[in-house]
Amino acid sequence: MRNNGFTEENQLSLLIWLRLVRVYENSNDLSNEFLKQFDLSVNQFDTLVQILIHQPVSQMEIAEHLTITKGGVSHMLGRLEKEELIERKQDWKVKYITLTEKGQTLIEKVLPLQSDFQASLFDPLTDEEKKVFYNMLKKIHRHSQDVNRLPRGVQ
């Protein structure tokens, strides 16, 4: 692989980024595969978890928790409603979302299994390393949110 526009000082950071992307994609694929036995995708699972934690909850609030648009939530809930996992109840102007009996039972069964799996990804790290890793991630996250608020031209 030739040096096509990569400067040396960037090299390590770019390797980190590529690796991080792979870890993310890999874990997501594994989770999707695992959840298939419950007829759920990762996104459906995440949505149900947010409803479990916050119910009764408006669609706008769900959108904020999941960082997707209200349109996306509307689509998603349409599918979950058709499978009778959630209910929408109009109260004044807002629709409040709750889990149905069926949805509650399902998510309470799946959540601990999926949590254990998600957590097991980090098994190769010691507890001490996990703390270090987490703190670094927090720094990176905070920094990326700052960038978010700055204009970024071609300098």
Partner DNA sequence: TCTCATCAGTATACTAGTAAACTTAAATTC
Partner DNA sequence: GAATTTAAGTTTACTAGTATACTGATGAGA
Which spans of this chain sit near a copy of itself (rule: CB under 8 A)?
A: 1-2, 4-7, 9-10, 12-17, 19-27, 30, 33-34, 37, 52-53, 67, 108, 111-113, 115-125, 127, 129-134, 136-145, 147-148, 152, 154-155
Q: Which does 89 bind (CB under 5 to 8 A by kind): DNA, a copy of itself, none?
A: none
The contact mask relative to DNA for 98-117 (x = CB under 7 A, - = no) is --------------------
Burial profile 126-148: b = 16 or more Cβ within 10 angstroms, e = fewer: eeeeeeeeeeeeeeeeeeeeeee
Q: Is 50 in the site for DNA (CB under 7 A)?
A: no
Place of tokens 């102007």: 93
Which residues, listed in sequence order, are joined to residue 87 by a DSSP beta bridge?
98
Contact 115, 107 (CB under 8 A): no
Number of C-beta neighbours around residue 30 at 10 A:
14
Between 78 and 115, CB nearer to a copy of itself: 115
Which residues, listed in sequence order, are joined to residue 68 by a DSSP beta bridge?
none
* Chain residues that interact with DNA, rule: CB under 7 A: 41, 43-44, 58-60, 68-79, 88, 92-96
